[in-house]
Chain A
């Protein structure tokens, strides 16, 4: 049955099964995307009456000249470039560790997964308390180490770092679970054969585990990068509805929110969404291309 040649009837039947999800995707994902793309080209647009004055590149020109957008872009790129590798590396380390303690693995998996399923607003409030200048857990700990307290949330020099820490922490659990799933799929025989050939633990990791884990790593890297490109609620909860002191933790999504809901610049918000979409797409393609090249280099199928 599974190997049967597809016919018009079987295709239609399959489409019928897929229809609910397809309709939802088209209605709530594809159409808003097209609409945002169109809106980004509207000039003198009345959002409420749908009156379009003209079409053009004005919104993108606005972004090109807006220092606030530049700041948001810079901060977002920093966030992705720092938080993504740190999250992936930490998740891999933890997963490798958990893989060696199968008895407690489930317990720790649950612990690491908790941040992923907890409401961001709740975790934001907890982190707010951890980072507080007066009596915050982190500053109390630093005090015991003889380090002067740092105003993590109100000092523009460290606010972005605080946000990065929260993003890393929140993304860790999901990635650990994914890495564990990838590790469990690797047959022990390969490692044992390598061991018989005299490979040490590091060589076994670099020559056996890592190449076999590559497809999962691609998924995790792309997923983490996309998640970090879209950081908004973490910043909103951490900085009490602001984008950090003096916009020090302004992200692209926060910029979009401000333009749409605070400034009523709907078309500029749409244009910034398009830029964000292009950035995410570009990064995904680059990552995918790089790992494909890596896989070919390691002797896998291209």
Chain B
């Protein structure tokens, strides 16, 4: 009996302590605020993904209202596929990384929302004018530039010196130098798996964009622009990357004089450069003295209509955070992508970075000449048709004349279907 009463006493005391403790916690600890979760799908990998994750961590630490949950999908193609599937099953995230050229298709599917009302005009005006061009569609802002790069000509400094050459300024110079390299047992020019971006830039310089709603591909100038790369491939002074995917794989082996890729490759190339190989980058050459035009590539951020107003505000907060000078510089320096704002591009910090990384200087010099394609409904299909012809040209299965005629027919048919 004595034992039982002692046991009950202990239990009562423990119970009292528990209740008092709970009351104490209730009164002293602040009520936890529920943060809005913002989901974000992207296609970054490697260093870019690590940097992005770090930036998102910083954003989350700076926030009391929102929490961004980023989800890497492996690559850009995967992100697109997931967006297509999720739009159908209505399981889209709050925002995703995509190209601005998809905006018309998304708008047609009625699952994208404009950023107007969430991002002020003043904030948008902070973005570099070349990069800002892509954010608008039909008078509204849909896409926020994010991972942007520009076409560059990479060159092997050792081979250039050995062959007594200088950095080519025109495509004719480039073709001549590549032929000289080939004659000496080297590859003249390495291209990525498809040379469509270079062809696209050449086409612009020839007076008509390649991927456009109403392209005019039959002009002699267009034929000449196409013939430049075709002749180089035919005479084996240029080679596409094929199953390597990117031309920098061949370039970094040290037996290739030039490589045309984008500034996004700078970081990867720096990390993979073998000892003893010296390379740098220059602006892309001009074509027949026409104004220089460079393909602006990369991805934007878009926001989906399935997100709640609070989530949209959270996504906009993230976009604004990424535009902050400190963040955009951190992004550019770690990845090789362009800083997004004019202020960041002109900052002392970035100038110091350029002094240490001369290869990146060409990026900034090229930026004012960057000309992104105009987005339109059916862009993906048109771009794919151009890629198909580029691949056939690279495989020497068609000639520039036949290829351009085939593409013109295809695009006209697409246009008719679309209308």
Contacts and interface: CB of A to CB of B under 8 A. Distances in A.
Interface of A: 46-49, 68, 128, 132, 151, 153-154, 156, 238-242, 245-248, 258, 260-265
Closest 5 CB pairs of A and B: A246-B395, A48-B109, A154-B242, A263-B381, A245-B395
Contacts of B77: 241, 261
A154 B243 CA distance: 7
B108 interface: yes
Given A47-B88, A239-B243, A245-B391, A261 B397 contact: no
B88 A48 contact: yes
A247 B392 CA distance: 8
B380 A264 contact: yes
14 contacts: A48-B88, A48-B108, A48-B109, A48-B111, A68-B388, A132-B243, A240-B245, A241-B77, A245-B391, A246-B397, A247-B388, A262-B380, A264-B84, A264-B380
B109 A49 contact: yes
B349 interface: no
Contacts of A248: 395
Interface in B95-144: 105, 108-111
Nearest to A132: B243
A240 B193 contact: yes
Given A46-B109, A264-B105, 4 more contacts: A47-B109, A49-B110, A154-B242, A247-B388
Contacts of A245: 242, 391, 394-395
A47 B89 CA distance: 11
B254 to A, nearest CB: 13
B397 A156 contact: yes
B244 interface: yes
A240 B193 CA distance: 9
Contact of A258 (B242, B384, B395): B384
B297 interface: no
B156 interface: no
B80 interface: yes
A264 B110 contact: no
Interface in B70-105: 77, 80-81, 84, 87-88, 105
A277 B392 CA distance: 29
Contacts of A239: 243
A92 to B, nearest CB: 33
A246 B394 contact: yes
B88 A153 contact: no
